[in-house]
Amino acid sequence: MRILHTSDWHLGRTFHGRVLDDAHAALADHLVELVTAEAVDAVLVAGDVYDRAIPPNDAVALLDETLRRLTERTRVVLTPGNHDSARRLGFAADLMREGLIIRARTAGLDRGIILPDADGNEAAIVHALPYLDPDAAREILPPLLTERLGEETPAKHTTGEGRTEGKDGDASSQPGPPERPRLPRSHEAVVSAALRLVAADLDRLRAGRSRRLPSLLMAHAFVVGGEACESERDIRVGGVDSVPSGVFTTLGGSALAERSGGLDYVALGHLHRPQELTRPAGPRLVYSGSPLPFSFDEAEGARNSATKSSVLLDLGADGVTGLERIPTPVLHQVRTLTGTMPELLSPAFDDATGAWVRVILQGERPPGALATLKERFPDLLAFQHEAPTRTARERIAVTAAADPLRITEDFFDDVCGRAPEPSERGVLRSAYESALASARSER
């Protein structure tokens, strides 16, 4: 069976103010062509389909059209990420046709999806976890754990909220009513609980079969060991964001982890850098990464070892039999240019005049430098200046006895990184003498 794993489309996003609609449209065309050319049996989209909870109309229209085209050719399983609104993305999910499955509700995360191969035979099991916000999921999951696993989550009692009056009218504190059972407030706790539910369902789905079905899990999370990019939204809340990679091997500490046969592949979303987390045992933990760069550091990485891509996965009864990263099309060239002003204006950077550019200017910054660079690179989107390192020098104490002109020149040197030229000294002297004359006239 052949699976295409992708995530973090972020439809509706901009790149330093530049709209990415054309790049997203090219991505949609690429995915449709890839599904057809590679005979893909299912596409897994592991969260952050949109860039924000209320996406722009054009982004909604593009997703609608993209899903229509994909489901005409294959099946699509889609989950919301931390950027998406699970309620909006999952609207009417139960009414959708067989080719499109959206798992947006926490209550349904342990309903395994059995995917058929091209011949219609049952070929793989997918459990699709929506993004589990710790504050919400810690309350939603305990009743499911009790109902389906018989697992009781301790409930804390409030204190000091109930008060009763004694015979003599004195008030005494009584324990308040018990709170609803809650898991610890961490992503590790809620993902582990979800995996224990998955383990029970996986055990049920595999029981009694003459042939083992490979198992895939979709999750949107920051797994310990993953390398982040600057464009990802921080999901940390008091340090509760990370999930240890080992929970996917133990299925959250489930007693059924071994009997269920375990997971074979975890299709991860959230981190934008394509990467696979190395583990001595257990399922393969793979981030497809975002298919487009959303920051300059991502674009720089894409030209080196972290090419923007999706993952083409082959599965057999024993699990993963093949994994290939398919590069996504690059519509806009993105460059970071570093150098002194003469270097940046030299022919060495002529090939970047049509790119989306970040300039890191080293050394002195002459007057009008930014305007000159914008003329040189019309799509200059970000600018940094790395001032030259200056040797420590003696500071002049500002006292009544100090020479005001020497203090002014020292200040000029400190701000501009160089001593004033003779013509500039003349301007400073003229300004000083004018100030003196004005002060005398007011006496």
Task: Give the residue extent of every domain in the chain.
Answer: 2-153+182-327, 334-386, 404-442
pLDDT in tens, 257-269: 999 999 999 999 9
Q: What is the pTM of this model?
A: 0.80
pLDDT in tens, 192-224: 999 999 999 999 999 999 999 999 999 999 998
Strand ranges, E, within 80-150: 100-102, 113-116, 122-128
pLDDT in the model for residue 361: 95
pLDDT in tens, 108-123: 999 999 999 999 999 9
**Cα separations in angstroms, 146 against 34, 158, 197, 202, 395:** 43, 22, 10, 18, 72
Residues 6+ apart with CB under 8 A from 330: 302, 308
95, pLDDT greater than 50: no
pLDDT in tens, 6-63: 999 999 999 999 999 999 999 999 999 999 999 999 999 999 999 988 899 999 999 9
Q: Are 259 and 267 in contact (CB under 8 A)?
A: no
Least confident of 103-112, 153-162, 222-231, 289-298: 153-162
Q: Which residues pair with 122 in a beta bridge?
A: 116
Q: Are 19 and 279 in contact (CB under 8 A)?
A: no
Fold of the domain built from segment(s) 2-153+182-327: Purple Acid Phosphatase; chain A, domain 2 (3.60.21)
Identify the residue with better confidence: 177 or 79. Answer: 79
Q: What is the spatial distance between Cα 217 and Cα 54, in angstroms, rounded to a whole number?
A: 27
Mean predicted confidence (pLDDT) in 388-408: 71
pLDDT in tens, 273-319: 999 998 888 999 999 999 999 988 887 654 544 589 999 999 999 99
